[in-house]
Amino acid sequence: MRTSRPRPRFRSPLRGPWLTSVFGAVLLASLPIVIITGLLDYVAYGQGQGIPGDVGLLRLPGFDWPARPAWLFRLTQGLHVGLGLVLVPVVLAKLWSVIPKLFDWPPVRSLAHAAERLSLLLLVGGVLFEIATGLLNIQYDYAFGFSFYTAHYIGAWVFIAAFVAHVALKLPTMIRALRSRSLRAELATPRERTESEPPDETGLVAEDPAPPTMSRRGALGLVGGGVLLVGVLTAGQTIGGPLRGAALLLPRGREPEGDFPVNRTAVAARISAADTGAAWRLTLGGLSLSRPDLLALPQHTARLPIACVEGWSTEQTWTGVRLRDLAALAGVPEPASAFVTSLEQGPFAQATLNAAQVRDPDALLALRVNGRELSLDHGFPARVIVPALPGVHCTKWVRSIEFRSV
Ligand SMILES: Nc1nc2c(c(=O)[nH]1)N[C@H]1C(S)=C(S)[C@@H](COP(=O)(O)O)O[C@H]1N2
Ligand SMILES: [Mo]
């Protein structure tokens, strides 16, 4: 039943419940992974750190993020950001496929229809907001007038609620539509033989379809190609190796020869040479240790990743003093947590480590990396590096460590 109200004409013969459902099925299988890894990252980041800020009722029952396996955060963060990025073409294709619905007329037909449209608004708005804030965080870290973590987290819950409602409402339609055509047959159909899906009540099929400019096979190939392209442009940031050079979407994913990415340089963090010179001391409870003092303590070497919220990660060989040795030195042989401060002021000025993170045999106050002194940009004179600890808490330019027995 359609009124004669003029509406924009969408005439692509490709639009229809089958094509929308193919995109929908891909997202249904993959978005839950993005959601779950995102929530895990929230736990890894947020425990005891005060970020995200106060999210009220949305606060998740947290658990202590473990220090093992060492690659855990690299995996959850890499999947969250990597999959989130490669799915962008699929999300855009799905939005394209349902554009006629946005011009539904009359806009509200019944209470149920109004509820459906509101959930669609939250769904589309939510996913675009998450993509936009995520991308901005990668490209222009800390360029927000608001907290990225809080905004992305609250946006996530809006999206999750709308996503669950949408799946519950549309699942039967999706299954029916997927069964209405054979994927194999579509993949064998060239443009000349491409025809509209039969008209149905979904309102997706064009009433007066234009001749096809592309087959469904071509459309799926285009989206698949987009996914591959984004994949090639981003995978290097996590996998490293030769692909790292192709990680164009990630400014900090590209590194100088023989070095690894720097999240924020010493200059940007306003660390002065005087702060880090011979007069530098590590404050350890009542103790005050110079860099030579630290180098005289037993040194331990471990190969450990840094994984950043921006999605890039890397594995390097770190050498320094075990945190648990420092705790013993400070008179806290059974540390329950450690409070670390940096010479730097601002958002990275402090971090709290939990018991597993402090006690791990590979948890270090690193003085060297890859057999050389730490560079100023990587945190000279000393920085924290702990297995599975989010990069953001691997504090550079450490000023003090306070081990706590509670
Ligand atoms: N003091 C301080 N520590 C810091 C940061 C910072 O900006 N200031 N950046 C953090 C972030 S977000 C990451 S991912 C890692 C990156 O370490 P790198 O720059 O040595 O690669 O350092 C962490 N430690
Ligand atoms: Mo980071």
Q: pLDDT of 124-165, one tens digit each?
A: 999 999 999 998 887 665 545 567 888 899 999 999 999 999
Examine the domain organization and report whether 27 and 127 are in the same domain. yes
Where a domain ends, among 246, 262, 290? Answer: 246
Determine the structural domain holding residue 212 and report its residue range.
17-246
Identify the band that residue 277 occupies on the pLDDT scale cut at 50, 70 and 90. very high
Q: Answer yes or no: is the C-beta of 397 below 6 A from any ligand 1 atom.
A: yes
Q: Is residue 270 part of a domain?
A: no
Examine the domain organization and report whether 208 and 289 are in the same domain. no
Examine the domain organization and report whether 79 and 227 are in the same domain. yes
Give the per-residue pLDDT at 87.
98
Give the per-residue pLDDT at 21.
98
Contact 223, 23 (CB under 8 A): yes
> Which residues are placed with Cβ below 5 angstroms of ligand 2, an ion?
263, 308, 391-392
Identify the band that residue 7 occupies on the pLDDT scale cut at 50, 70 and 90. low
- The CA distance from 187 to 304, in Å, is 45
Q: Is residue 10 part of a domain?
A: no
Q: pLDDT of 352-387, one tens digit each?
A: 999 999 999 999 999 999 999 999 999 999 999 999
CA of 312 to the centre of ligand 2 (A): 8
Total domain count, the chain: 2
Examine the domain organization and report whether 287 and 379 are in the same domain. yes
DSSP-derived secondary structure for 355-388:
HHHHH-TT-EEEEEETTEEPPGGGTTT-EEE-TT
CA of 6 to the centre of ligand 2 (A): 51
Give the per-residue pLDDT at 256.
66
Q: pLDDT of 221-271, one tens digit each?
A: 999 999 999 998 888 877 777 777 777 766 655 566 678 888 888 998 999
Q: Answer yes or no: is the C-beta of 177 below 6 A from any ligand 1 atom.
A: no
Ligand 1 atom nearest residue 310's Cα: 14
Q: Which residue's CA is the nearest one to ligand 1's atom 7?
A: 264
Return the minimum-mean-pLDDT range out of 11-15, 64-68, 110-114.
110-114
Q: Is residue 195 part of a domain?
A: yes
Q: Answer yes or no: is the C-beta of 91 below 6 A from any ligand 1 atom.
A: no
Examine the domain organization and report whether 290 and 241 are in the same domain. no
Examine the domain organization and report whether 288 and 228 are in the same domain. no
- The CA distance from 320 to 362, in Å, is 10
Q: Answer yes or no: is the C-beta of 341 below 6 A from any ligand 1 atom.
A: no
Residue 93 pLDDT greater than 90, yes or no: yes
Q: Is residue 6 part of a domain?
A: no
Q: Is residue 251 part of a domain?
A: no
290 by Cβ neighbours in 10 Å (0-12 / 13-18 / 19+) ranks as middle
Q: Residue 385's domain is classified under what CATH number?
A: 3.90.420.10
CA of 311 to the centre of ligand 2 (A): 8
CA neighbor of 324 nearest in space, from 382, 379, 263, 386? 386
Please give the residue that has the higher pLDDT: either 387 or 60: 387
